[in-house]
Chain A
Amino acid sequence: DAGVTQSPTHLIKTRGQQVTLRCSPISGHKSVSWYQQVLGQGPQFIFQYYEKEERGRGNFPDRFSARQFPNYSSELNVNALLLGDSALYLCASSSPGVSTDTQYFGPGTRLTVL
């Protein structure tokens, strides 16, 4: 079975632009979470979606938004990009039925903001 997939792998944007990152969970997983990881730090929780509803939100500004589609794939949108948004963005999916069960990570999207 395929693991969590994310696209694109790498992305370069300039300040003020908008970006959309995509994630497909493991088949059968209904929960998707998004994390931001800057160099030297652990992943920071941004959002969790379960059955297309937002179940959790981290301490990120409203410039960050997400949604989950009927097929359980998800998009993370970031508006008005800042230099500090440069990071590895990770998507994780978890087993159905439990929202904070074991999470399996995709390969990530490396975002560079110039």
Chain B
Amino acid sequence: QKEVEQNSGPLSVPEGAIASLNCTYSDRGSQSFFWYRQYSGKSPELIMSIYSNGDKEDGRFTAQLNKASQYVSLLIRDSQPSDSATYLCAVSLSSASKIIFGSGTRLSIRP
């Protein structure tokens, strides 16, 4: 089992709709969770960090964390073509000083 798993996509969503991106992780003791956006040929850019169960909202983005289910998600409301990118889920391990990334979900917003 991979430490951090994401559906690779591509996920195609119409402009203005809600995009839902999901991530599961295997380390039950993980405490810190991150979502990054990566445009083709560029480096990852932090969107959200979340540490507690529940929802965390920042503008059009909402991160959701459920530690019991070992599940973290990212919702993007009012999707725009500029949101088309690969979204990386990252989890810090409880047993070591490192952050593990999923392989990313490719999101495409169609006009």
Contact = CB atoms under 8 A, between A and B. Distances in A.
B49 to A, nearest CB: 5
Given A56-B97, A100-B32, A102-B34, A42 B43 contact: no
Interface in A78-106: 88, 90, 99-106
Place the interface of chain A in its size category: 20 to 34
A103 B99 contact: yes
A33 interface: yes
A37 to B, nearest CB: 8
B46 A102 contact: yes
A42 B93 CA distance: 16
Contact of B97 (A40, A41, A99): A99
Given A42-B104, A100-B92, A101-B32, A33 B44 contact: no
Given A42-B88, A100-B32, A100-B92, A105 B99 contact: no
A108 to B, nearest CB: 5
User: What are the 10 A-B residue pairs with the smallest beta carbon separation, nearest first?
Assistant: A42-B101, A56-B97, A100-B92, A55-B97, A56-B98, A105-B43, A99-B97, A45-B98, A108-B43, A42-B103
A104 B42 contact: no
Contact of B43 (A40, A48, A100, A106): A106
Nearest to A35: B101
A50 B98 CA distance: 12
Nearest to A103: B99
B14 to A, nearest CB: 25
Nearest to B91: A100
Contacts of A44: 101
Contacts of A41: 103-104
B88 A102 contact: no
Interface in A19-46: 33, 35, 40-45
Given A100-B32, A104-B46, A42 B99 contact: no
Contacts of B49: 102
B100 interface: yes
